[in-house]
């Protein structure tokens, strides 16, 4: 019997994947908390298997913004195709070109080819979220501006109360509410048990395209901090600023945007690059600030009773951890395993965990050094990073580098979960 096997090399599957029979989930009412990437992706699959799905989002509307996210390797490609969003993701891709590392006076130090940062295809997180929402909105109930207050489970289901809406009962609850998951806190315990801080923070926001960049980016580093300004072809008048800095754990309020802006303004006030002050000027009026620790989530198990964690809530990695690709792959597997188990959550959740756990850990591992790589702590380390860029960006080593970055993302042989109406 062939089954899903992790490959040792991360390259092509060693066996052709098994077609797995599935059964209808029409008897299931599922609540998904979080409408970014993981939540709507799971909703798409569960709705295809016939489940009634409600996606709950704390924000008043679908959230825009965020950096570009990329997909790389066979596994990501296969899932995008099976979801039916391959063409649309390509239509809305960033078309990012070269990224140039610059000196303080903006002269070029080293230029990196597009594939280095952008994978096989790159799209803004907000655009991806929109695609997933558009593909599901007619079959899935979306509730914005609310959050789960309590979850009470018995042998037949879960009673859910909300901050605003009337109480409801569901068969299953999925926490797809990100790195700082509220569902995880309610069911698995405090975040401090699961969040591993990696000593860096990352921020992103939009500004006018002062530099006249055309699908290119410029990056400047000083010890422990980096500014990157980029433009994509979506809007020639806008640019995105990325800030990465090394820091002890900050005792800040995650919901206080003004405080976050002050932290960033202070940290980058005397940055030597000639374009930094103008970029930071835009911070004041930015209405799309993303600010978070570079951190990872490590939980002991992904489900408890009728509640299961998906995406960043279960195995988030912030930057460099291929979190968006992992979220899509995991949503495909979770829905497929539930359908293969005919909706039996014990069997379905256990199979999901067995399939995805090591894969997600491997992807997280690629992000272990994201902070020190993007904002090296000393001048000497900045120089050696740039030497590495020069070598890895050369044509000769391009293929090798591509393979390396795809390794973790491809280290899973996907099962082929048959659609309910086309069983093997």
Ligand X SMILES: Cc1cc2nc3c(=O)[nH]c(=O)nc-3n(C[C@H](O)[C@H](O)[C@H](O)COP(=O)(O)OP(=O)(O)OC[C@H]3O[C@@H](n4cnc5c(N)ncnc54)[C@H](O)[C@@H]3O)c2cc1C
Contacts of 283 (CB under 8 A, 6+ apart): 205, 241, 261, 264, 265, 289
By CB under 6 A, name the one of 176, 279, 297, 339 that touches ligand X. Answer: 176
In terms of CB distance, is 39 or 224 closer to ligand X?
A: 39
In terms of CB distance, is 145 or 212 closer to ligand X?
A: 145
By CB under 6 A, name the one of 48, 52, 76, 182 that touches ligand X. Answer: 182
Q: Does 175 bind ligand X (CB under 6 A)?
A: no
Smallest distance, ligand X to C-beta of residue 125, A: 5
By CB under 6 A, name the one of 10, 13, 66, 206 that touches ligand X. Answer: 66
Q: Does 38 bind ligand X (CB under 6 A)?
A: yes
Q: Does 312 bind ligand X (CB under 6 A)?
A: yes
Smallest distance, ligand X to C-beta of residue 148, A: 6
316 class by beta-carbon count within 10 Å (0-12 exposed, 13-18 middle, 19+ buried): buried
By CB under 6 A, name the one of 56, 213, 333, 340 that touches ligand X. Answer: 56
> E strands of 258-355, at which residues?
290-297, 303-304, 307-309
By CB under 6 A, name the one of 4, 33, 100, 260 that touches ligand X. Answer: 33
Q: Does 162 bind ligand X (CB under 6 A)?
A: no
Q: Does 131 bind ligand X (CB under 6 A)?
A: no
Smallest distance, ligand X to C-beta of residue 63, A: 4
C-alpha to C-alpha distance for 355 and 77, rounded to whole angstroms: 18
Q: Does 63 bind ligand X (CB under 6 A)?
A: yes
Q: Does 198 bind ligand X (CB under 6 A)?
A: no
Q: Does 67 bind ligand X (CB under 6 A)?
A: yes
Alpha helices (runs of H) in 137-283, residue ranges in sequence order = 182-188, 257-268, 276-281
> Does residue 217 sit in helix, strand or coil?
strand
By CB under 6 A, name the one of 25, 30, 31, 37 that touches ligand X. Answer: 37
C-alpha to C-alpha distance for 338 and 335, rounded to whole angstroms: 5
Smallest distance, ligand X to C-beta of residue 245, A: 14
Q: Does 72 bind ligand X (CB under 6 A)?
A: no
In terms of CB distance, is 310 or 382 closer to ligand X?
A: 310
> 170 and 30 in contact (C-beta within 8 Å)?
yes
CA 350 to chain centre: 23
Tokens encoding 2 = 């062939």
> Does residue 112 sit in helix, strand or coil?
strand
The secondary structure of 365-381 as a DSSP string is HTTTTHHHHHS-SSHHH
**Beta-carbon count within 10 A of 289 CB:** 16
By CB under 6 A, name the one of 72, 125, 246, 306 that touches ligand X. Answer: 125
Smallest distance, ligand X to C-beta of residue 90, A: 18
In terms of CB distance, is 22 or 405 closer to ligand X?
A: 405
Q: How far apart are the first and last CA of the chain?
A: 15
Tokens encoding 34 = 């979080």
Please give the biggest Cα pair distance in the chain.
66
Q: Does 147 bind ligand X (CB under 6 A)?
A: yes
Count of positions on this chain that bind ligand X (CB under 6 A): 33
**Beta-carbon count within 10 A of 54 CB:** 18
Q: How many residues does the chain have?
A: 424
Q: Does 318 bind ligand X (CB under 6 A)?
A: yes
- Reported as type and span, the H/E element at residue 246 is strand 238-246
Q: Does 324 bind ligand X (CB under 6 A)?
A: yes
Q: Which residues pair with 112 in a beta bridge?
A: 99
By CB under 6 A, name the one of 57, 122, 171, 411 that touches ligand X. Answer: 57
Q: Which residues pair with 86 in a beta bridge?
A: none
By CB under 6 A, name the one of 21, 26, 59, 391 that touches ligand X. Answer: 59
Select the span of 12-20, 75-83, 265-273, 317-325 touching ligand X (CB under 6 A): 317-325
Contacts of 187 (CB under 8 A, 6+ apart): 151, 175, 304, 307
By CB under 6 A, name the one of 74, 177, 337, 406 that touches ligand X. Answer: 177
Q: Does 65 bind ligand X (CB under 6 A)?
A: yes
Tokens encoding 131 = 């695609």
* Interface with ligand X (CB under 6 A): 33-39, 56-59, 63, 65-67, 69, 125, 147, 176-179, 182, 204, 290, 311-312, 316, 318-319, 323-324, 327
């Amino acid at each position: 019997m062939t089954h899903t096997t992790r490959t040792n090399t991360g390259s092509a599957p060693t066996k052709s994947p098994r077609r797995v029979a599935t059964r209808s989930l029409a008897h299931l009412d599922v609540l998904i908390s979080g409408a970014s990437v993981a939540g709507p992706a799971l909703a798409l699959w569960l709705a295809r298997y016939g489940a009634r799905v409600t996606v709950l989002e704390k924000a008043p509307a679908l959230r825009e913004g965020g950096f570009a996210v990329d997909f790389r390797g066979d596994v990501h490609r296969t899932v995008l195709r099976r979801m039916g969003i391959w063409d649309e993701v390509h239509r809305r891709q960033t078309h990012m070109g070269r990224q140039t590392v610059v000196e303080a006076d903006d002269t070029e130090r080293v230029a990196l080819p597009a594939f280095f940062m952008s994978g096989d295809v790159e799209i803004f997180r907000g655009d991806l979220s929109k695609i997933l929402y558009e593909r599901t909105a007619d079959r899935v109930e979306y509730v914005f501006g609310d959050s789960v207050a309590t979850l009470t489970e018995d042998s037949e289901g879960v009673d859910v109360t909300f901050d605003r809406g009337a109480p409801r009962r569901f068969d299953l609850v999925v926490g797809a509410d990100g790195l700082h998951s509220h569902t995880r806190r309610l069911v698995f315990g405090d975040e401090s048990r699961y969040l591993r801080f990696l000593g860096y923070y990352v921020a992103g926001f939009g500004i006018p395209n002062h530099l006249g960049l055309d699908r290119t980016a410029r990056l400047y580093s000083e010890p422990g901090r980096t500014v990157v300004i980029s433009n994509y072809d979506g809007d020639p008048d806008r640019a995105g600023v990325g800030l990465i800095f090394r820091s002890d754990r900050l005792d800040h309020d995650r919901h206080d945007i003004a405080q976050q802006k002050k932290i960033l303004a202070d940290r980058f006030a005397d940055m030597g690059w000639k374009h930094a002050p103008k970029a930071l000027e835009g911070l004041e009026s930015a209405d799309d600030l993303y600010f978070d620790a570079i951190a990872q989530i490590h939980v002991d198990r992904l489900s408890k009773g009728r509640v299961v964690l998906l995406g960043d809530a279960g195995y988030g990695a912030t930057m460099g951890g291929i979190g968006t690709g992992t979220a899509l792959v995991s949503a495909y597997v979770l829905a497929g395993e539930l359908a293969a188990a005919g909706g039996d959550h014990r069997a379905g959740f256990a199979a999901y965990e067995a399939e995805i756990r090591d894969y997600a850990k491997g992807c997280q591992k690629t992000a272990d050094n994201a902070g020190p790589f993007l904002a090296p702590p000393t001048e000497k380390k900045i120089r050696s990073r740039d030497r590495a860029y020069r070598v890895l960006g050369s044509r000769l080593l391009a293929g090798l580098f591509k393979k390396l970055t795809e390794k973790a993302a491809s280290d899973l042989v996907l099962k082929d979960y048959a659609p309910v109406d086309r069983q093997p």
